[in-house]
Structures are given as C-alpha cells and as structure tokens.
Structure 1
C-alpha cells in the first residue's frame, strides 16, 4: 500500500465519530464500510476506507493500461475498456469485437449480420461492417413524391420489378413538427421462430427469414402537406430475390376470390392465369395451384354450399338447420359436441352423431330391406377421426344401394342401436 493511501486512511480513521468532514481537496471516488473487532477492548472501530481516484491508482499501479486489441485505445480501467468494446470502436465507428472476443453477453446487440456471427449495436454500425468487412456498398437513393398514394404505387411497382417485399417494421409515428415517419424493411429480415410441434417436415423451399438483418429498407418522411421524401436502400444481403418466397398481393387474392364467388371453375381460373404469362417478367401468380385456390376459398368462406363458416362445427350446424328447414329434410338425428341429449343419456357431451337419410332411399329400404341389409364402415379419412357408417340394401339388380349414413366419433353398440332405430 502506498504512503498516499495510508495517509488518507489515517485521516479518515482519526475523524471517525467526531463528525469531522472530509476535505474537499482530497481526491476520492468510492467508499466502503469495514468493521474491525478488537478482542482486548471489546470496542468496535468503524473505519471508512477510501479508494482514491485515478491519480492514486496510477501511483499504486504505474504504467497499468487496458488497451483495445483492435482500435489501439488505452484506458486506465478495465470497465472503461468494456464500455468502449460494447458501444463503439475507433474512428471507423464499427463494432470491433464479437461477443466471444470481448467476453460479454452483448444481449443488447440488436443487429445481426446474416453472413457471419457478428452482432452490432445499430444499423449504422452494421452498414459500416458490411462496407469494410464484406465490401458491400450501402448507398441510399433519395426520391420525392407529391403524395403518399403516389409513393404506394411506386413501392408496388418496385416490389414487382425487384421480386421483393417491404413490410412495416413498426407503426408510423408523428413528430412535434407535424412530420409522419414510416419505416419499411425487407420481409426476409429477422429470426425464424417455429410454432410447430415437429410433426410436419419443413418445406423444400425453406423458410423466409434469413436469421439476420437485410440492409435493404425504405424510410419515408411525410410532411404536413402530404409530400413524401423517400430514402431507398436497394442492396439485399443474405438472400437472393425470387418468386418462391413471395406471396400473392392482396389485390390478386381479392380478384381470385371474386372469380370463385361467381362460380367460375377452378381450372378455368388457372387457365386464365396461364394465358397472361409473358417472357418479360416472372411473377408469383404464375405459380398458382388448386391447393392455393382452396386456401383462398377457406379464408373467404367460399367453399360452395358446404362450407358455411371457418369453424367446422358451426358450419355443420348451419347446414343441418338449413336442411331441416327445407321441403325435403334428410337429417334424422343430430347431436353436436359439447352438448347433452336428454332423450339419449348414454351419449356424453363430447360425442357427435349425425344420421342422414333422404325420402327416396327410405322407400328403397322399405322395399328391399326384408331381403338383405349390409353395414359398411369407413374410417381414417378425416382429421377428426370420425367414422362413416353406411347402411346398404340389395336392389333389383342385386347390387348394393346406400340408404342411410351415420357419422360419429363412436362405433359401439349404443350408437349403432341409435342408428338402426332412427
């Protein structure tokens, strides 16, 4: 311990209990409490040990400096060096260390490079990293528009031309000077968070997210009079633009939904799309399939007269009510799930039973039912594990003719007895 530090400790110890104040000229930085117990006197002496500032520390450790291995800056404290490492580097203002080199967790590093395992603090540092480490030039293009609607049209044409898509990073906000700012980023930026249970395999085309940040973006500044100033970064990093990772636009989906609502056959819709194919530009709509059209039908509840609602239970109940209200009802019995039946207490609340038979099959059953009756079961054809039971008779040609149908989650004696009674 140096003489300066011993002198400082002696002054504090001599003033302990007297209320004497420390001199303003004494350089001090931090104090801690230490308690010394004396076995002979039984007295407790509380001394405030003063840790001196940089001058005294340098006297204790002459020439001790903490130097940045990449930037070359030196600091008196290791804490100051860590602050430099966690924020900025030398004059290039680039993160000089990754999380392994600096020994920090760097949980606050928000921008990750998709080309290497480097996370930086801000997008500016990320652009500098790409320009110096990866030789990627990031130069924004500035454009002015008379209105926000004009910008939206330009954005749509740009996305179609470059086979890309820009989405809002966050909500728009307005500054104190009545200026609204909009931020659009490349839709492939970000980390993929899986919500699946691992039952289905990953698609062959892969995921949309690249596990990092793509520098391509659009920054819009909308003035109070409606005019817009746009900064557009064209360069994409970490992926290639293509139609396989794009989706149909809202305008295209609505146009297809209108055609399906007008009862246009699906094959005719596909042929119409193929007829518009040109060699000048490939678009995602040219990859349209029947499966995607079925998806649009489901989202817009357009699946002919069978699909009434997105929820299958509500859709079936709606269909049953419409059939029973018609002139030729064919539903003999129906019990919905999560309901109880007082007339049939053997059915639990989780059971579903649907029995269907029309008037014409009923007459055939009465005519040929005394000869031979057959029951056939079909299972494993739907996602709910419901079983279809068909009641058949032999007609005049000695061929099986279906007369009644039963759909249920059970196939035991109670449900079969109910089916035959009805």
Structure 2
C-alpha cells in the first residue's frame, strides 16, 4: 500500500521529505539559493468602518483602504529624540492611551517598539477564555483596528525616531477608556502619601470644575489601588507576599524582636509539617505581658477564607482588666488541624519560657484546640472546657428546628427561654447578692 506524503513537508525541487515545515524551509534556503520562500502573512486586521469586507495583513494596507474607500484623511508625523526617556516623556502626555503591542530587535542592533490604540482589536478574534468576568459597562475594545499607532525605532547610538499616526477611526472620545494623566496621578499620589483616606479622595474627586467632566472625576478604588502598587505607597518590601514576609521577619530578628516566634515558608523543611505548608505565629511584647497577667480564661477561635490565599487565622484572646477580649497571639497557616495547633502552642510555650496555667479554655465545638492546648502545656490541673455563647445558640437552633415543629414554639424558645437558661447562673448570683444586701 502506497503511503500518501504530505506535500507541505516535501521539497518541490528535490522531492526530499522533512519532519516539519521549518526544516524544509531551512533546506531550501541552504541548498536552493535561487528559490525564494513566500511567507503567507496572517490577514487579521479589519477595517472598523466595514467589518464584513476584506481583512489586511498590515496597518499600511488598512490606512490605504481608509484613504481610498472611506476618504479618511490620515495625519502622520515623524519625530526625532536624543534618547528613549525624552521620547517617552513626550508621548506620555498624549490625550489618548496606547498599549505596547510588539517589540522586536533587528540583526543590526536596532530595536522597534509598536504601540497601538488601546481601543483597537489588535488580535482580530474573540478569546474563548472565561477566567475573568466582563466589565459591567462592556469592553472598551472596538470591532476592528483603529489606525492610530506609534512606531518607535531605537538606534544603536541611542537616537530615537518616532512615527506617530494621530487619526483615530471607529470610536468616540470616551472618558472611561482613558488613563489618568501624569498630573492627575501626581495629585492623587500626594494625597495618598499624606494619609488621606480613599473615601475622602473619591468624594473630593466628584467635584466638577468649569462644568467639564474629566477623567479624575470618575476614579474608582481600582485606580487608587493601582497607584498604591505603582508608587509603593504602602511600603511593600517585595511584590511577592512570601518574600516580603521573610524580609520583615528578618528585620525584626536584627532588631532583637521575637515577634514572629514561629515561621515556616513554603518549600522549607520543618519538623512535623509538610514542605507545602506555610505557618507564621505573631506576638509582641504587649501581648506577651497581657497573656502572663490574665491567663485565667483563654479563648481560642479560627477564621476561614479571610484573605485571597484562603489561609486560616487562629486567634488567642484573654479577658483583660476591663473584662474585654484582648488578642495575645495570632497564627496564620494554610490549614487548621490539631497538628498545626500543637506546633503553634509549642512555639508559644517556648516564647514564654513557661507553661500557661489556665483555668478555662473557651473555643467552638471543635475539640482540636482544647486537645492541642492540654497536650502541649502539661499543667498539673487540666483547664475546664467552655463553649462560647454563639456556638451554644447555634446548636440549640439546629436541634430546635428538628424537634419543635410549630414556628411559634421555636420563636419562644429562641428569644426567651433559651437565653434565660444561658443567663441563669448570672441571675442567681445577682439575686443572692441582693438578698444578702437586704438582710444586712
């Protein structure tokens, strides 16, 4: 049986077969110098005025089409600068925004950079990716390609030549498609650096001057968050949270502060933990003093999904002199099980250089906190375990829904009788003190 060969992989001159088209083309260039290879250019540039017509392979063909077919006057200018910074400073003051589309280096050492209008559909197709939700106001991209573009040619000696096509076609001048100008950014950065709140900045920006709506009048929280990241206003040590945390803990250690008494990075080995685990425990000097002074009642609870990494936070509290909850230790970890709690309490015990002899441990109905505490602290008398009021009422409500069929009975139990039972001991103490006072 004769095998049918793919004609695309066969040299038309010597009938030699290759494994790929690039290998075949290299063979033609090497052994058949007189033959030129015709490269088929992708035609994905569409005219924004006649979307159903033919497509073009380059922007020059699109501009010729606009001139001849639609009688559009295209304004072009060529500028020269001594260096790229000077060119960028001049281009940054343009009213319309541009996005870097492509960079390429030439064999002679020159470099070309292409900036297209940010309203253009440069790809020529609609992506099927659904990782990000569409904006409520819709995308700013138009159907087709706007001819306005900037071509920057950087020579080896540093000179820069800029070809600027100023004419925009296919879209109107809309504020929502513009970025903040350099002056507007500087104004907002000064306010953020001075400590002005985001709510105050946004409220002040809504004031319209000279009856003309500007880009700064419609700023959002996203614009302010972008400026904070760009100018590092929040003084982040590194864009990577893991590296920034390690640098901060290293700074504490150099200053003699043992605030992070437990720290394990992802990929680092630690006894009892997996390589992919992350753990950091925090306590400062004030929190340490409070824990040693008010250790009679220890409250432990965990929160879930409070950050973008979906890590868990464990909080240890005590009742201070005002009978209020005061946090004395924090644990941030990627999981919340008894093993993590035992390592956390063991590091806490080492930080204090002593065991915490608590009389009561209050937590939710999960037993892991109590078991980990009693296992690590090893005190002579085990503390009594208490449940917080919220979990008691929650469990009573669950049982009441299954055992009390009438809604009025459930409502009476929930609002009156159940809460009276919780406060029965408190009422008894008050009644006893009142009786003693009356007799005296």
User: Which band: TM-score by shorter chain?
Assistant: 0.5 to 0.7
The question of 1:234 aligning with 2:167 is answered yes
Give the SS at the match of 1:248: coil
The unaligned stretches of length 5 or more in structure 2 are 1-39, 349-440
**Counterpart for residue 60 of structure 1:** none
Q: Give 1:213 shift.
A: 1.6
| Change in 2 beyond 3 A, CA 1:148/1:137 | farther
Whether 1:120 aligns to 2:56 is yes
Question: Structure 2 vs 1, CA of residues 358 and 399 (structure 1 numbering), >3 Å: closer, same or farther?
Answer: same
Cα shift at 1:377: 0.8
Instruction: Measure, in 1, the Cα distance between the counterparts of 2:292 and 2:99.
Output: 65
Note the C-alpha offset of 1:374.
1.9
The one-character-per-residue Cα deviations of 1:166-217 (angstroms, maximum 9, x if unpaired) are: 456656999x9xxx99976433221277889624311123334334222345
Query: Is the CA contact 2:51–2:143 (under 8 Å) kept in the aligned structure 1?
Result: no
- 2:328 maps to 403
What residue number does 1:203 align with?
Answer: 135
1:289 corresponds to which residue? 220
Task: After superposition, give the CA deviation of every residue in 1:95-117 in whole Å (9 maximum; x if it has no partner).
Answer: xxxxxxxxxxx864243223423
Q: How far apart, CA to CA, are the structure 2 residues paired with 1:347 and 1:181?
A: 51
Q: Quick one: which of 299, 306, 309 aligns to 2:230?
A: 299
**Is the 1:144–1:227 contact (alpha carbons within 8 Å) kept by the matching residues of 2?**
no
Helix, strand or coil: the match of 1:392?
Answer: strand
Contact kept? 2:202, 2:219, Cα under 8 Å = yes
Instruction: Check 1:123–1:230 CA distance in 2 against 1; reply closer, same or farther (3 A cut).
Output: closer
Aligned to 2:318: 393
Aligned match of 2:382: none
How many Å separate the matches in 1 of 2:345 and 2:149?
Answer: 67
- Equivalences for 1:144-293 in 2 at 5 Å? 159-160=94-95, 164-166=96-98, 185-189=116-120, 190-191=122-123, 198-217=130-149, 232=165, 234-237=167-170, 239-249=171-181, 252-253=184-185, 256-257=188-189, 259-267=191-199, 269-270=201-202, 273-274=205-206, 277-279=208-210, 281-293=212-224
TM-score (norm 1): 0.57
Q: Distance in 2 between matches of 1:256 and 1:202?
A: 27
Bigger Rg over Cα: 1
Partner of 2:45: 111
The verdict on how the C-alpha distance between 1:363 and 1:112 changes in structure 2, with shifts beyond 3 A counting, is same
- When normalised by structure 2's length, the TM-score is 0.55
Residues 1:358 and 1:196: Cα distance change in structure 2 (over 3 Å): farther
- Look up the SS of the partner of 2:340 in the other structure: helix
| 1:138 counterpart = 2:61 | no
SS of the residue corresponding to residue 244 of structure 1 reads helix
Which residue of the other structure, out of 332, 339, 364, is the alignment partner of 2:261?
A: 332
- Return the alpha-carbon distance in structure 1 between the equivalents of residues 233 and 160 of structure 2: 41
| Structure 1 stretch displaced more, 113-122 or 406-415 | 113-122
Q: Is the CA contact 2:249–2:260 (under 8 Å) kept in the aligned structure 1? A: yes
**How far apart, in 1, do the equivalents of 2:243 and 2:279 lie?**
15
- Deviation, 1:378, is 0.6
Alpha-carbon distance in structure 1 between the residues aligned to 2:198 and 2:63: 47
Q: Does 1:315 align with 2:244?
A: yes
The Cα shift of 1:375 comes to: 0.9
* Counterpart selection for 2:293 from 367, 378, 399: 367
Counterpart in 1 of 2:340? 415
Distance (Å, rounded) in 2 between the aligned partners of 1:402 and 1:392 = 4
Which segment drifts farther, 189-198 or 381-390? 189-198
**Greater share of residues in helix:** 2
